[in-house]
Structure 1
Amino acid sequence: MSSYDKRCEYNRNHSYSLFKMKAILIILNSNYLVTEVRKVIRELKEQDKEQFISMVDAFYHSEAVLHAIPKENILNTFDEVISGSPYAKVYIFEEQGEIAGYGQISLTYSNEAGGMAVWIEELYILEQFRGSGLGSTFLNFIKEEYASKAKRFRLEICESNKAAEKLYLRKGYTSLDYKQMLYDIDL
C-alpha cells in the first residue's frame, strides 16, 4: 500500500481522505475541507447565523435567482440544517480565515437516476472572493463526499447566469430538456 493510500485509509478517530487537484484537499471528520491556500469548506454552525442570513439574502437579491424570498424561509432553512436534518446541508466556505460564501444541498431519492440525487440548491460566493476557485472546490468536495452514495448531482440556474453555467459545464454538468413546475402550499 502506498503512503498516499495509507493516508486515505479510514481511521475511526481521525477520519479523512485526500484527493488531488491543483492543491491538496483534505476532509477532516467528514465535514471539513482544507486546501494549502487555506480554503476551508465546513458545515454550518450556530455561530454562523448572522453571516449565513446575510449571504442568503444577498443571493436572493442577485441575478442568479428569479425572485427574493421571505426572511422567514432563510430562518427555517437555518433551523432545519442546525437541527441535523438528513435532507438538507449547508456548507460555509472560508478563505484565509474569512467567511467567503456558502453552498446548500438537498438529498432526495430519484427513481430516474436509480438512487440518491444530490441537489445543489445554492452556491454563493461573496464578491471579493469570486474567481478564486471556491465554486470549483465546492463542486469537487460534494462530488467526493457523495461519490459512493449518490447516483446523480443536479442543480438549476437562471438562463441569465452565464458565469455559473460556464462553471457547471466545465465540471461536466449537462442541460436537461425538462420544464420545471411547482405548486406552493400556503399555510
Structure 2
Amino acid sequence: MLDYNLVSSLATYRMPEPEDIPQLVDMVERFHAETRTGLHVGQPEVLATLKELNQHRRSGSWFVFEMGEEVVGYCLIANRWDNGLGGAVLHVDELYVMPGRRGRGIAADFLGLLAKVAPGDAAAIRFELPAANRRAQGLLRRLGYGESTERAMSLPLRGT
C-alpha cells in the first residue's frame, strides 16, 4: 500500500534493501526482547514477511529508518479493512528505534508523515501496545492518538 520512500529533514523512511537484512533481523529481535512478546522472531520470519509484502503490496509496508547513512529503526505496518470504519486500518505491528537514537523525534516524525501520506481509503492508524510501555503511550497521546475501547484477544493457530 505504501511502497515509496518518505523523506523529512530528520530522516529518510524507505523500503528495506537486501543489505539491510542482518541489521533488520537484529532490530526485530531487540524489539521482541524489549517488549517481552515471548516470540522468537528471527531471519526466517523477517524474510517471510518481506516476501509477503513484496508479493502482496496491499498487505502492508515495512520501512527502514535512516539518518544519513545509518539505519536507526524500522516500522512494520499490516493493513486490513474495517467495516465499521469504512476503510483500511494501517495497523502498526512493530515500531522500533535503536536505543541510542530514541528521544530525538524519529518515531513522531515518521508517524506524522505516515498520517499525511496515508492512502485515500485509510480510515485509521492503529497500535497495540503493552500496558507497561508508558513512554510509547505518552508519545502517541501527544500525537493525537486516543485509547481504544476494544480489547485484542488472539488464538494461536501455530506453535511459536
TM-score normalised to the size of structure 1?
A: 0.76
2:122 equivalent in structure 1: 150
Contact 2:32 2:41 in 1 (8 A): no
1:50 equivalent in structure 2: 22
- Cα distance in 1 for partners of 2:13, 2:64 equals 6
Residue 43 of structure 2 corresponds to residue 68 of structure 1? no
| Alpha-carbon RMSD | 1.8
Residue 150 of structure 2 corresponds to residue 178 of structure 1? yes
- Cα distance in 2 for partners of 1:112, 1:84 equals 24
Higher helix share: 2
Query: Deviation string for 1:11-63 (max 9, x for gaps)?
Result: xxxxxxxxxxxxxxxxxxx62222334x111112222111111110110000x
Larger of the two Rg values belongs to structure:
1
Contact 1:45 1:82 in 2 (8 A): no
TM-score normalised to the size of structure 2?
A: 0.88
1:38-117 equivalences under 5 Å are 39-62=11-34, 64-71=35-42, 72-117=44-89
1:5 equivalent in structure 2: none
Q: Report deviation, 1:91.
A: 0.2
Q: Greater CA deviation, 52-61 or 83-92?
A: 83-92
SS in 2 for 1:86: helix
Residue 16 of structure 2 corresponds to residue 31 of structure 1? no
Q: Output the amino acid matched with 1:143.
A: A
Contact 1:49 1:78 in 2 (8 A): no
Q: Output the amino acid matched with 2:94.
A: E
- Cα distance in 2 for partners of 1:147, 1:87 equals 13
Query: Deviation string for 1:72-107 (max 9, x for gaps)?
Result: 333321322344532021000011210000001011
Query: Deviation string for 1:124-178 (max 9, x for gaps)?
Result: 0001111111100110121112152311111110011001000111111111122
Could you tell me which runs of 5 or more consecutive residues in structure 1 were left unpaired when the two chains were aligned.
1-29
Could you tell me which runs of 5 or more consecutive residues in structure 2 were left unpaired when the two chains were aligned.
none
Aligned residues: 156
Contact 1:118 1:154 in 2 (8 A): yes
- Cα distance in 2 for partners of 1:66, 1:160 equals 12
